[in-house]
């Protein structure tokens, strides 16, 4: 069974749109501890309202595993890529952990709506291990553009192009 890694924005959007059950249905999902903590208690940026997402039932159903395994060597490599390619924006630690897991485990796929993270995935040649929310749960009405297959493809390609560009410059 393929394992899916999720970014905080995916979980929060699904929770706010009553799609958590669809997200976790018949899937094995892992998230780093740092992402779990981000989504467990988060603040809505527009309203500053504090909210809680309870994921315990998915852990109990073995649909969700919380991993506390910062893959430090790979995370170091990812952070060094910003030095090689200043056009890449730095990403959050949880996203770095997920991408580090991708580098180690080719069976994992990472779902994010963060455009900068998509570029980093493409930069590292991991495009085959990226998956949009649209692909993960199917067509959803009013899905944000950054969760679509088209958006994912566009920014993975931009990241791949940055890798080629930085390779040619060095």
pLDDT at 67: 92
Q: Give the C-alpha separation, 71 to 98, whole Å.
A: 9
CA distance 38 to 31: 11
DSSP, collapsed to helix, strand or coil, labels residue 88 as: coil
Q: Is 131 helix (H, G, I), strand (E, B) or coil?
A: coil
pLDDT computed for residue 170 by the predictor: 55
pLDDT at 152: 98
pLDDT for the residue numbered 167: 67
Tokens, residue 144: 């944000």
Using 70 as the pLDDT threshold, list the residues of the chain that sit under it: 1, 69-71, 167-170
pLDDT given at position 5: 95
pTM for the complete prediction?
0.91
Buried b / exposed e across 72-107, counting CB within 10 Å, b at 16+? eebbeebeebeeebeebeebbebbbbbbbbbbeeee
């Amino acid at each position: 069974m393929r394992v899916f890694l999720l970014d905080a924005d995916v979980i929060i959007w699904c929770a706010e749109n009553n799609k958590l059950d669809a997200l976790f249905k018949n899937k094995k999902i892992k998230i780093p501890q740092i992402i779990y903590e981000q989504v467990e208690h988060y603040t809505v940026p527009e309203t500053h309202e504090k909210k809680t997402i309870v994921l315990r039932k998915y852990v109990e159903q073995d649909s969700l595993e919380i991993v506390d395994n910062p893959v430090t060597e790979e995370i170091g490599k990812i952070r060094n890529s910003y030095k090689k390619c200043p056009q890449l924006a730095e990403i959050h630690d949880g996203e770095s952990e997920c991408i580090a897991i991708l580098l180690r485990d080719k069976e994992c796929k990472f779902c994010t709506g963060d455009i900068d993270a998509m570029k980093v995935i493409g930069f590292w040649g991991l495009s085959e291990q990226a998956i949009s929310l649209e692909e993960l749960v199917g067509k959803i009405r009013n899905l944000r553009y950054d969760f679509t297959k088209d958006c994912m493809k566009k920014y993975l390609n931009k990241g791949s192009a940055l890798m080629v560009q930085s390779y040619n410059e060095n």
